[in-house]
Structure 1
Amino acid sequence: MIKNILEYFERTLAEAPEKTAVIDGEREITFAELSGNALALAAQLRRKSHGQIRQPVAVYLPKSIESITSDLGIVYSGNAYMNLDVKTPGRRIANILDLVDPLFVITDGKHQAALSAVWPEDRTVLVDGQIPRAGAEEELQRALEDVIDTDPLCLINTSGSTGTPKSVVLNHRSFIDYTTWAIETLGLRQDDIAGSIAPIVFDHFSYEFCLMLVRGCTLLLIPENYPSFPARLLQFLQERHATYLFWVPTIMVNIANMDLLSRIPLPEVRMVWFAGEVFPTKQFNYWRRQLPQATFVNLYGPTEITVDCTYYVADRPLRDDEPIPIGKPCRNTDILILNGENRLVSPGEEGELCVRGSSLAMGYYNNPEKTAAVFVQNPLNTAYPELIYRTGDIVYINEEGEIVYKGRNDSLIKHMGKRVELGEIEHVIVNTLQLVRNGCAVYDHGKKEIVFFYEAPKELEAAVLRREIGRQLPQYMVPGRFIHMELLPRNTNGKIDRLRLREGI
């Protein structure tokens, strides 16, 4: 029985010690080198903490060989890593550190000054230079013996309504389940090269990190500014022979809108995953046409259920105005779609998607109230304790038996006495009518009007937009105000920053 992610990595290390683990610009590191450096760091952390385990240790570094080494070193030390974004304002970093109070924060000389403004130097570990390897092998044996599958592997920070992010605690078991499911169900291989674009603070990165450890894939770190230059991004993937992508759709939409794949093909890409937001079907179909050799998979899931809990392998034609299903549950995960009375919905009826199984997070670190609000007793089970996670997402089952995402609970509004799903307005304008490249509908509660922000090369006449939308939607769903932007704002994860747009109206 495998009881922690390190036992998988030891197998990978035995099979391919000299294989490249990470490509970072012009630098590369093999699995043997990665393991050696991580073990040396683990020994240092053990000495400094007097052997404490199952505690968070933060990493304040850009996405790099050094940050990946730090994450692995923390896991080897028997603790849980928490990656921080070095571009995040200092006040927000301070809020996270105050909440979590990690054992240490790992950084380098370049970022030490910024960190020292919010964190004491005596609890800072620098990774500049060579770390002594004395005692490293002993750390490996301790870790393999001490760490079990229900111990925390990492903490991932998500947005919080108070301005302080919620730190989601995810354990070894949930990542083992998800990663082995991905390998066995979708056929990921040891010779795959993953074009890694996810920010280091995103759960998709932690999955790629585990995929590297478990399957022995190579992580190709994409320079963080390349998404702003789609042509250079595609050239980079082509030159570096990437075979596997797991991206947020926004970047893929931009590439489709610019018709770049017809000029910069990616013949070696055999697997394309996307998640995190709705992928407009027109642009998705463009990708399918341009990469006929690739398998496309739409995944869905909040961080609280470990990366994703449902998936849809695109194995049938989809019309441009047809939503892409989120499919069916991943292995060892069960999906409950509950109505307002906490009963299972009927076919075609909308309800809240709830999740049960080993994928559930352990909760929010140092936040029992918010944990108790969303990790709740299964209302269908009154016989024994069983937690489910309430996602707040509204879905339904289509005629094919596939789960289809409808929108957020908080995107359901009452307007002019009618129930309105803002996601439906977005879908009609972007996918069905194809009036703009991308868009986001928000509700101005003060003025009681629907506001639609949209991306387009130039501003469109509001009267024309209203007329076209009014042919497809009832009048009460037609936005009252249209705001043109060359690019919609994105958050750290690459998703449209809806909160920022709401605050701007």
Structure 2
Amino acid sequence: MNIANVLEFLESSVEKYPHKKAVDDGERSFTYVQLLQEAKRIGTVLTGCTAPGKPVVIFMEKSAGCLAALLGCVYAGCFYVVVHPVFPEERIRKMIKVLEADAAITGNGAASKLVSCGFQGTVLEMEDLTVSGILQERLDRVRNEAQDTDLVYGMFTSGSTGTPKMVVVSHRAIIDFIEDLLDVSGISERDIIGNQAPFDFDVSVKDIFSTFAKGGTLILIARELFSQPLALTEYLKEQKVTVLIWAVTALSMLAGTKQEGVKPPDCIRKVMFSGEVMPQKPLQFWIHALPEAEFYNLYGPTEVTCNCTWYKLPKGGSNTGKLPIGLPFSKRKIYLWDDAKREILKPRQVGEICVGGSTLASGYYHNEKAQDEKFICKACEDGSRERIYCTGDLGYYDEEGLLYFAGRKDFQIKRMGHRIEMEEVELEIGSVPGVERACCIYDDETQTLLAFYTGEAQASDVRREVRGKLPAYMLPNRIIRVEEFFVTKNGKTDRGHLRELGAKYFKKRLS
């Protein structure tokens, strides 16, 4: 498929399947032609409020209407940035300051909060946009001047300075990635994709554009259902969902429920997971529940446009305790670098995972300093220069050339004179009978290593088991059982919350 704009995914499916359901959020749905018209109405209004290349704030919860607004931004030649109304006001203020946007789309009475947080541009109510007309000539002018390097979306990540960084991604990066993902996964027009991720999390990009590229159907699953496991599985069955592209924590939540009758429906034929290391016990739950399904481990930070490597599990799964993150997608290049940025090719030798290729993000919006630190140029043998993103993740190759994740550089600690990967400690604790998941945090000042876990096992039993597997310098000072792990808005384990829980233990060590 030779395309230059992500809207061509949608438009191609409109031609083939105009009256097929494109998206359904449980309360409202659009066919492909209805979604196209709604997006064009919104795009038409936006062309009178802001200029191509500018960000548009989407101050809404996830919904079918919100999806139309995202696409409307792209029709106007702009890029969308989802800011959740439930965010703390201080966080919203910081995001607005980074964006300097001229226009925002909101609904359900959220406009006053946006304005109170310092937004000074035009605020458009979603209810008003949907009754506007379509000025096709105006939209055509925007499209004719567009390039594949234009931006489609911006997504915020945390910043070490306290100011959130926003990753921005182009049409070309999304197109090349989605084409690779479809080649690997075999998603087709017959598939119904069950969307778990919020629209400000890049997993949603896979859901949205994989669906539109093939002419499938996208089911937007309400956030509330993820706290109701039985209702969630019944909803998946009712909607005949065939593909899940979910965060590890969402899959683990369902696997860890004690509610009777919870079983993923047989209609699911593909499960893709990413965001964190998948623990073996939740993975085995899903494999046993869906023995005929295909399972894929995907890896990659937001800055590489969703994912850069993939691994398809063999039928029946894996009991080795550690999954490969696999091989690079065809339009990616993966490098393992040592501290001197020399390439590592030797099996089992750990280095930093660095990524090149056409699908890298464009960079950090209005943050050249951070961009220059993380996106670097590498001189090639032919005299050209290649743009590389340094992930901060560690990895190694096995003897077959498969890549493995080996933790974060910033999760690597020095304790009792030894360098320790906290992920290794987590894996060993997670393998103890009665433990569902484990997560470690470390306080450098007090040299305290704490391990938290969920499950029915007693902490004393977990410690006894782990003592037989780990050397003394890797044993946590405390092993603490918790009812559940809090998660961030992106579905990852909230280590900040665990650090708060562990604060009293750090203080005790100091006293």
TM range (shorter): over 0.9
Aligned-residue offset at 1:142: 2.4
Q: Counterpart amino acid of 1:89?
A: P
Q: Counterpart amino acid of 2:355?
A: V
CA distance in 2, matches of 1:60, 1:88: 10
CA distance in 2, matches of 1:172, 1:179: 11
C-alpha distance after superposition, 1:76-116 (max 9, x if no partner): 00111111122211110110010111121110142112212
Report the TM-score, using the length of structure 1 for normalisation: 0.95
Distance 1:245 1:487, change over 3 A: same
Q: Counterpart amino acid of 1:492?
A: K
CA distance in 2, matches of 1:247, 1:240: 17
Aligned-residue offset at 1:197: 0.7
Q: Counterpart amino acid of 1:501?
A: L
Aligned-residue offset at 1:216: 1.7
CA distance in 2, matches of 1:222, 1:117: 30
Aligned-residue offset at 1:260: 7.1
Distance 1:188 1:453, change over 3 A: same
CA distance in 2, matches of 1:487, 1:228: 12
Matches of residues 69-88 of structure 1 in structure 2 within 5 Å?
69-88=68-87
Counterpart in the other structure of 1:191: 190
Matches of residues 402-421 of structure 1 in structure 2 within 5 Å?
402-421=402-421
Q: Is the 8 A contact 1:6 1:144 kept in 2?
A: no
- Range with greater deviation from structure 2 (253-262 or 134-143): 253-262
Pair 1:397-2:420 in alignment: no
C-alpha distance after superposition, 1:255-279 (max 9, x if no partner): 2234779753411111110000011
Distance 1:63 1:471, change over 3 A: same
Counterpart in the other structure of 2:21: 20
Counterpart in the other structure of 2:429: 429
Q: Counterpart amino acid of 1:250?
A: T
Q: Is the 8 A contact 1:282 1:321 kept in 2?
A: no
CA distance in 2, matches of 1:271, 1:418: 41
Unmatched 5+ stretches in structure 2: 504-511
Q: Counterpart amino acid of 2:47?
A: R
Report SS of the residue matched to 2:72.
helix
C-alpha distance after superposition, 1:308-356 (max 9, x if no partner): 0000011255553420111100121010011222122112211111000
Equivalent residues, number: 500
RMSD over aligned Cα, in angstroms? 1.9
Distance 1:265 1:143, change over 3 A: same
Counterpart in the other structure of 1:279: 278
Matches of residues 274-313 of structure 1 in structure 2 within 5 Å?
274-313=273-312
CA distance in 2, matches of 1:330, 1:107: 37
Counterpart in the other structure of 1:367: 367
C-alpha distance after superposition, 1:431-490 (max 9, x if no partner): 3x34521111111122212111111347x244x333221100000100001232101111
C-alpha distance after superposition, 1:47-104 (max 9, x if no partner): 123xx20111110000001110110000000111111122211110110010111121
CA distance in 2, matches of 1:135, 1:237: 35
Counterpart in the other structure of 1:126: 125
CA distance in 1, matches of 2:337, 2:182: 30
Matches of residues 31-430 of structure 1 in structure 2 within 5 Å?
31-49=32-50, 52-120=51-119, 122-129=121-128, 131-258=130-257, 264-315=263-314, 319-345=318-344, 346-378=346-378, 383-430=383-430
Moved >4 Å (runs of 4+): 259-263, 316-319, 379-382
CA distance in 1, matches of 2:402, 2:176: 22
Distance 1:118 1:263, change over 3 A: closer
Q: Counterpart amino acid of 1:12?
A: S
CA distance in 2, matches of 1:489, 1:259: 17
Counterpart in the other structure of 1:29: 30
Report SS of the residue matched to 2:383.
coil
Report SS of the residue matched to 1:274.
strand
Q: Counterpart amino acid of 2:442?
A: Y
C-alpha distance after superposition, 1:389-445 (max 9, x if no partner): 0001111112332111110000111000101100000011103x3452111111112
C-alpha distance after superposition, 1:93-141 (max 9, x if no partner): 1100101111211101421122121144652111114545434322442
Counterpart in the other structure of 1:467: 464
Report the TM-score, using the length of structure 2 for normalisation: 0.93
C-alpha distance after superposition, 1:328-385 (max 9, x if no partner): 0012101001122212211221111100001111110000000011101226669333
Q: Is the 8 A contact 1:177 1:332 kept in 2?
A: yes
Report SS of the residue matched to 2:366.
coil
Unmatched 5+ stretches in structure 1: none
Report SS of the residue matched to 1:147.
coil
Q: Counterpart amino acid of 2:65?
A: E
CA distance in 2, matches of 1:86, 1:111: 7
Q: Between the two proteins, what is the percent identity of the paired residues? A: 34
Counterpart in the other structure of 2:506: none
CA distance in 2, matches of 1:251, 1:235: 16
| Aligned equivalent of 2:498, options 473, 497, 501 | 501
Q: Counterpart amino acid of 1:376?
A: I
CA distance in 2, matches of 1:262, 1:397: 41
Q: Counterpart amino acid of 2:167?
A: V
Q: Is the 8 A contact 1:261 1:290 kept in 2?
A: no
C-alpha distance after superposition, 1:218-264 (max 9, x if no partner): 11011111111111111110111001001112222232234779753
Distance 1:120 1:399, change over 3 A: closer
- Range with greater deviation from structure 2 (257-266 or 176-185): 257-266
CA distance in 2, matches of 1:380, 1:341: 16
Counterpart in the other structure of 1:477: 474
C-alpha distance after superposition, 1:33-58 (max 9, x if no partner): 11111111111111123xx2011111
Distance 1:413 1:202, change over 3 A: same
- Range with greater deviation from structure 2 (296-305 or 332-341): 332-341
Counterpart in the other structure of 2:7: 6
Report SS of the residue matched to 2:47.
helix
CA distance in 1, matches of 2:131, 2:250: 41
Report SS of the residue matched to 1:490.
coil
Q: Counterpart amino acid of 1:414?
A: K
Q: Is the 8 A contact 2:78 2:151 kept in 1?
A: yes
Q: Is the 8 A contact 1:488 1:496 kept in 2?
A: yes
CA distance in 2, matches of 1:251, 1:270: 17
Report SS of the residue matched to 2:384.
coil
